[in-house]
Amino acid sequence: MTDLFTALRTPVALAEHAQVLPGFAADLADALHTAILEISATAPFRRMVTQRGHAMSVAMTSSGSAGWVSDRSGYRYTPADPETGAPWPAMPELFRKLAQAGAATSGFVDFAPDTCLINRYDPGAKMGLHQDRDEADFAQPIVSISLGLPAVFVFGGLTRTGPTRKVTLYSGDVVVWGGASRLAFHGIDALKPGTDPLCGPHRYNLTFRKAL
Ligand code: MD6
Ligand code: FE
C-alpha cells in the first residue's frame, strides 16, 4: 500500500496528455520565488493591454530568448522587453531543468523551452478561457508551475463552449499538457485574497513553452 505522501504526489489526469503533478516543485519553491524576484528586478511585472485596449488583471513578465507580449497590435513573442528595450532575462537553469523534468515525467522527453512567461495574480485577478496558440510548434507540450496562493484552474476541451472541470492548483503543483490536449481551452478563476508564507498576497504561475 502506498503511504499518504506518495498518494498526494500521484499525478492527476485532466484529459488525454494533460495532468497535474501535485507538489512536483514544492521543494524548490524558495529558489523559484527568489529567481522570480530577480527576473522582475530587470523586467518588471506589468499589466499588458489586449488588442481591444483592456488592461489584463494579471501582471506579467518573461525570461528566456523570447517573451510573450500583448498590445493594441495583438499577441506575439519578442526577443526584447518592449518596456526597456533590453533582451528578456535569461531563463534560469533551475527553471529549465525543472520544466524538463516535469515534461519527462509526463512522457514528453525532448522538451526544449525557449520562453518562461511569469504571471502574477493579486486578489481578484483572473484569466478567462483561452487557448495557448501563439507558439510555432504544437508538438511541444506546455509546463506550468504554480507558486503562492491557491487558484482554481478551469480546464475545458477543444471548443470554447464545451464542458469544463475545475481543479485547485496549490503552491508547488506542476501541470503538463500537450499532444491531444495542447490546444485545450483553460483559464483561472478570480484569485481569493490570502497570505501565502512565501509569496504573501500573490500567486505566481510560470509557463514554459517552445515559442519559436
Ligand atoms: C495560470 N495558466 O495557471 C495560467 N496555459 O495562471 C495557463 O494559462 C496555462 O497553466 C497553458 C498550460 C498551462 C497553464
Ligand atoms: Fe494558458
CATH number at residue 103: 2.60.120.590
Ligand 1 atom nearest to 130, measured from its CA: 8
| Whether residue 124 has pLDDT greater than 90 | yes
Q: 200 alpha carbon to ligand 2 midpoint, in Å?
A: 23
pLDDT score, position 2:
60
Cell of 127: 484569466
Ligand 1 atom, smallest distance to 169 CA: 3
Inside any domain, residue 139? yes
* Rounded distance from Cα 34 to ligand 2 centre (Å): 23
Measured distance CA(104)–CA(153) in Å, rounded? 22
> 7 falls in which pLDDT band (50, 70, 90)?
low
Q: How far is the CA of 133 from the centre of ligand 2 (A)?
A: 9
User: Which protein residue's CA is at the shortest distance from atom 5 of ligand 1?
Assistant: 132
CA angle 112, 117, 119 (to 5 degrees): 150
**3, part of any domain:** no
What domain count does the chain have? 1
Task: Order across the sheet with 151-155: list the strands.
Answer: 127-130, 186-188, 151-155, 165-169
Tell which residue, 131, 132, 162, 165, has the closest CA to residue 15. 165
At residue 126, does pLDDT exceed 70? yes
Å from CA of 207 to ligand 1 middle: 6
Residue 37 lies in a domain: yes
Task: Pick the ligand that lies closest to the CA of residue 150.
Answer: 1
Q: What range does the domain containing 48 cover?
A: 8-209
Distance separating alpha carbons of residues 196 and 180, to the nearest angstrom: 34
- The residue to mutate among 57, 127, 130, 144, having the most atoms of ligand 1 within 8 angstroms of its beta carbon, is 144
Distance 197 CA to ligand 1 centre (A): 22
**Which residue, by CA, sits nearest to atom 8 of ligand 1?**
187
> Is the pLDDT reported for residue 1 higher than 60?
no
| 127: pLDDT strictly greater than 80 | yes
pLDDT tens string 148-199? 999 999 999 999 999 999 999 999 999 999 999 999 999 999 999 999 999 9
Examine residue 104 and state whether it is found in any structural domain, yes or no.
yes
- Does residue 1 belong to any structural domain of this protein? no
Nearest CA among 88, 59, 54, 58 for reference residue 71 = 54
CA dist., res. 34 & res. 86, Å (int): 21
Q: What is the pTM of this model?
A: 0.95
pLDDT number for residue 8: 73
CB 204, CB 118: distance < 8 Å: yes
Ligand index nearest the alpha carbon of residue 207: 1
pLDDT digits (tens, 9 = 90+) for 62-117: 999 999 999 999 999 999 999 999 999 999 999 999 999 999 999 999 999 999 99
**27 is a domain residue:** yes
- Per-residue pLDDT averaged across 34-60, rounded? 97
107 falls within a domain: yes
What's the pLDDT tens digit per position in 8-44? 789 999 999 999 999 999 999 999 999 999 999 999 9
Ligand 1 pocket, residues with Cβ under 6 angstroms: 119, 127, 132, 142, 144, 153, 175, 177, 186, 188, 205, 207
Residue 2 lies in a domain: no
Question: What is the predicted pLDDT for the residue at 141?
Answer: 97
